[in-house]
A and B are shown apart, each in its own frame.
Chain A
Amino acid sequence: MSQVAVNLQKSPTLLEVKNLAVEFDTYGGTVQAVRGVNFTIEQGKTLAIVGESGCGKSVTVQAMMGLIPMPPGRITSGSARLRGVEVLGRNTIDGREIRGAEIGMIFQDPMTSLNPTMTIGDQIAEPLQVHRGYSHRRAFDEAIQLLELSKIPEAAKRARQYPFEYSGGMLQRAMIAMAIACKPSILIADEPTTALDVTIQAQILDLLNDLQQETGMAIILITHDLGVVARMADEVAVMYAGKIVEHGSVDDIFYRSAHPYMLGLRAAMPTNDPSLQHELQPIAGSPPDLFSPPPGCGYCARCPYAMQVCGSAHPEDYFVGETHFSRCWLHHPDSTLKPDELYFGNMD
Chain B
Amino acid sequence: MAALLEAIELTRYFDMGRKQRVHAVEQLSLSIAEKEIVGLVGESGSGKSTLGKTIVGLLDKTSGSVKFRGETLPQKYAPADFQRLATKMQMIFQDPYSSLNPRMTVGEIIAEGLRLHSDKKAPEIKETVADWLLKVGLQANHMSRYPHEFSGGQRQRIGIARAMILGPEFVVCDEPISALDVSVQAQVINLLRELKETMGLTLLFIAHDLSMVRYVSDRMAVMYLGSLVEIGKADEVYFDPRHPYTEILIGSNPEPDPELERSRPSTAIQGEIPSPVNVPEGCRFASRCPRVMEVCQHTTPELLPLKDVDRQVACHLYT
Contacts and interface: CB of A to CB of B under 8 A. Distances in A.
Interface stretch (A81-89, A120-128, A281-289): A281-289
Interface in B147-179: 151-153
A269 interface: yes
18 contacts: A53-B152, A53-B181, A199-B268, A201-B254, A224-B181, A227-B211, A227-B255, A227-B261, A230-B255, A230-B256, A250-B258, A255-B259, A266-B256, A274-B235, A279-B190, A280-B186, A284-B187, A286-B153
B269 A202 contact: yes
Interface stretch (B59-67, B88-96, B121-129, B245-253): B245-253
A265 B44 contact: no
A53 B182 CA distance: 10
A230 B211 CA distance: 15
A205 B184 CA distance: 26
A198 B207 CA distance: 12
A269 B268 contact: no
Given A269-B182, A272-B214, A199 B258 contact: no
Q: Which of A230, A254, A255, A264 has the most CB of B within 10 A?
A: A230
Given A197-B44, A200-B43, A224-B181, 18 more contacts: A197-B273, A198-B254, A202-B268, A203-B268, A203-B270, A206-B268, A228-B254, A230-B254, A230-B255, A231-B254, A255-B258, A268-B183, A269-B256, A270-B214, A274-B239, A281-B186, A283-B183, A283-B186
A254 B258 contact: yes
B212 interface: yes
B119 interface: no
Given A226-B256, A228-B254, A282 B249 contact: no
Contact of A268 (B43, B152, B186, B267): B186
A200 B273 CA distance: 9
Nearest to B213: A270
A229 B183 contact: no
Interface in A37-51: none
A173 B129 CA distance: 48
Interface string A195-227: 001111111011000000000000000001111
Contacts of B182: 52, 224, 226, 265, 268-269
A169 interface: yes
Sorted from nearest, which 6 A-B pairs have the closest CB atoms? A227-B254, A270-B215, A282-B186, A202-B252, A268-B186, A283-B183
Of the four ranges (under 10, 10 to 19, 20 to 34, 35 or more), the interface on chain B belongs to 35 or more
Contact of B186 (A52, A230, A269): A269
Interface of A: 52-53, 167, 169-170, 197-203, 205-206, 224-231, 233, 250-251, 254-255, 264-266, 268-270, 272, 274, 279-284, 286
Given A202-B267, A230-B254, A282-B190, A169 B215 contact: no
Given A197-B44, A202-B269, A227 B258 contact: no
Nearest to A201: B252
A280 B211 CA distance: 12
Nearest to A53: B181
Interface string B29-57: 00000000000000110000000000000
Contacts of A286: 151, 153, 184
B152 to A, nearest CB: 8
A251 B258 contact: yes
Interface in B261-297: 261, 266-270, 272-273
Given A274-B235, A280-B190, A280-B215, A268 B185 contact: yes
Given A52-B182, A206-B268, A282-B184, A199 B252 contact: yes
